[in-house]
Amino acid sequence: MAVTAGSLVLLLAPVRAAYTMPGLLTIATLRLPASGEEKEAPLSQEQTFKMLQAGVPSMQIEAFARDDGIDFAVTPTVERDLRKYGASESLILLLKKLSAAPPEQPPSPAVSTENSDLLRQADDALTRKDYSEAVKALKTVIARQPDMGAAWFDLGFAYNGLHEPDEAVKAYQKTLELAPDHFLAHLNLGVLFLEQKQPQAALEHLQKATTLKPESARAHLNYARALAQSQQPDAARKEYQEASRLDPHLAIVQFELGQLDLQQKQPAEALTAFQKALLLDPKLAPAELGSALAAEYLNDNAQAIAHFENYFTLQPNDMGARLQLGRLYIKQKDTEKARDIFESIYRVKPDLPGLTAELGDANALMKNLPDAEKYYRLAISSQPNDADLHRALGQILLNEQKFPEAEKEFRTALQLNSHSRDSAIGLAFSLNSQKRYQEAIPLFEELAKSPEAEPTVFFVLATCYDHLQARKEALANYELFLKMSKGKYPDQEWQATQRTKLIRRELSK
């Protein structure tokens, strides 16, 4: 009777190892930039009326007024118009209080007529975002009056507009030498350090900003960002919560809270925060993506898919997120849907990292072996040191009965990862399929030592010994296989039973 193990080849997993938790893979996708610098710009009467007419909530206007101050007096006529446009009593009371207090300015000496003209030119240039002209005018003023704090502050703002952060930092630091309690100089300097990935340097200035203006939601938000970047999640959470208390309408605060929770592997809390962000701003696309990732982490696949689809209505060209959706369909065992998504991405962005490997997996699961081989080879061309890709390709080649090529891939996989049990199994199978039993037996014997050894290992080991006429060893392994298989492999169980009977008769002679 012929002894064969060929039908067991497809019992090995054809695709790569399980995926990492999705939120951690795509966390960078969610990161929004830190809020930009702020220039001294008190809220005007016209701006206040326009915001009220546009439906901006009074509470949010209060936050702007607390942060920036106002440049108008609340006369009885102004108060009447505020009420007409729907201002709350709380907003009106705050504006009355602020109207008696001038906006913050760093102390400066008396300004000459020439410098006054240059400062106006600089201010006009800053308004037009002509930062080069502003720098030229401000440097002239500072050369004449180096102790003018307002000029140094505007110079820092202009340099930042020119994307010269080092010069901007120097100008803000000089501002703080002249005015140590200048709120916006601390805030802007902290934001600059955040943008330069220097959260420790940012902490001092942003904490000072929250001390100088504890009512500033913007200061607490940026302080929270610095704490989060400094790996202080609990302290960051408290600052985010304070920013939210001061301005409940800031969707970005809830979004970043969700981001923090996702990083801390707290998907339920993250999902709640992302949902709050979407209530405040339904078009905040990253909050939709965050919701999708958090829901996927919670294994709520239906909700995750819904949020992915909402996200794509806002960001249709995010191929990385589409790749994540395809992975989700793989998890749901809707492989055909996943493959369609991967192929649609491939038509647009064939070089997207990880895409060809996913196409290999999808086609392997659908038993489209030639396509699986093609895409795994493409993936390996860009990731030649990925052991699992070589293993997956080896398994496809084994299933295609390309045994020498399969052997080569399994050997490469083991060179890259000597602890890969699947690669060792694949190599042993490929040698057995080439009838190189003497080489296969040591591999199968080593695999058989594991407490998790699969029944198929013992069956194929038995066939190897059987081919070499080593009857006692063959019998022992057939018997172990029959003891372990328990009806899972009926064809091989029938064969093992027949061989066991024959070998026992032969040994009894």
The secondary structure of 10-64, three-state, reads HHCCCCCCCCCCHHHHCHHHHCCCCCCCCCCCCECHHHHHHHHHCCCCHHHHHHH
* Same domain? 21 vs 52: no
Tokens of 200: 């420790």
Length of the chain: 509
CA separation, residue 223 to residues 104, 187, 232, 245 (Å) = 21, 9, 11, 15
Residue 105 is given by DSSP the state: -
* Same domain? 339 vs 357: yes
* Same domain? 19 vs 56: no
**Model pTM score:** 0.72
* Same domain? 464 vs 492: yes
Task: State how many domains the chain has.
Answer: 3
Q: Which of 295, 297, 298 is nearest to 311 (CA)?
A: 295
> Could you say which of 397, 419, 434 is where a domain stops?
434
Is 200 domain-assigned? Answer: no
* Same domain? 343 vs 403: yes
- What is the model's pLDDT at position 76? 78
DSSP-H helix ranges across 266-402: 267-280, 285-297, 301-314, 319-331, 335-348, 355-365, 369-382, 387-399
What is d(CA 337, CA 215) in angstroms, rounded to the nearest whole number? 51
> Could you say which of 391, 410, 434 is where a domain stops?
434
Measured at the CA of 485, the angle between CA 447 and CA 394, to 5 degrees, comes to 45
What is d(CA 404, CA 436) in angstroms, rounded to the nearest whole number? 11
Is 9 domain-assigned? Answer: yes
* Same domain? 471 vs 390: no
Beta carbons of 70 and 48 less than 8 angstroms apart: yes
* Same domain? 414 vs 458: no
Is 278 domain-assigned? Answer: no
What is d(CA 462, CA 318) in angstroms, rounded to the nearest whole number? 52
Burial 37-52 (b: 16+ CB within 10 A, else e): bbbbbbbebebbbebb
- What is the model's pLDDT at position 389? 96
pLDDT tens-digit profile, the chain (509 residues): 444 454 444 334 445 554 333 333 333 334 343 445 555 457 778 878 877 777 766 766 877 777 777 877 888 788 888 887 788 877 787 787 777 544 455 555 565 667 788 888 888 888 888 999 999 999 998 999 999 888 999 999 999 999 999 999 999 999 999 999 999 999 999 999 999 999 999 999 999 999 999 999 999 999 999 999 999 999 999 999 999 999 888 899 999 999 999 999 999 999 999 999 999 999 999 999 999 999 999 999 999 999 999 999 999 999 999 999 999 999 999 999 999 999 999 999 999 999 999 999 999 999 999 999 999 999 999 999 999 999 999 999 999 999 999 999 999 999 999 999 999 999 999 999 999 999 999 999 999 999 989 999 999 999 999 999 999 999 999 999 999 998 999 999 999 999 999 999 988 87
* Same domain? 445 vs 390: no
What sign for the dihedral angle of Cα 206, 208, 210, 216? negative
- What is the model's pLDDT at position 70? 81
What is d(CA 221, CA 252) in angstroms, rounded to the nearest whole number? 9
Beta carbons of 59 and 215 less than 8 angstroms apart: no
* Same domain? 423 vs 500: no
What sign for the dihedral angle of Cα 183, 187, 193, 198? positive
> Could you say which of 397, 414, 434 is where a domain stops?
434
Q: Which of 395, 461, 465, 462 is nearest to 430 (CA)?
A: 395
Beta carbons of 280 and 265 less than 8 angstroms apart: no
Q: Which residues pair with 70 in a beta bridge?
A: 43
What is d(CA 205, CA 223) in angstroms, rounded to the nearest whole number? 9
Is 146 domain-assigned? Answer: no
Is 481 domain-assigned? Answer: yes
* Same domain? 426 vs 335: yes
CA separation, residue 110 to residues 107, 133, 135, 150, 152 (Å) = 10, 23, 21, 12, 15
Q: What domain range includes position 361?
A: 1-25+317-434
Is 145 domain-assigned? Answer: no
- What is the model's pLDDT at position 459? 95
Is 79 domain-assigned? Answer: yes
Is 334 domain-assigned? Answer: yes
* Same domain? 365 vs 352: yes
What sign for the dihedral angle of Cα 164, 168, 169, 171? positive
What is d(CA 173, CA 167) in angstroms, rounded to the nearest whole number? 10
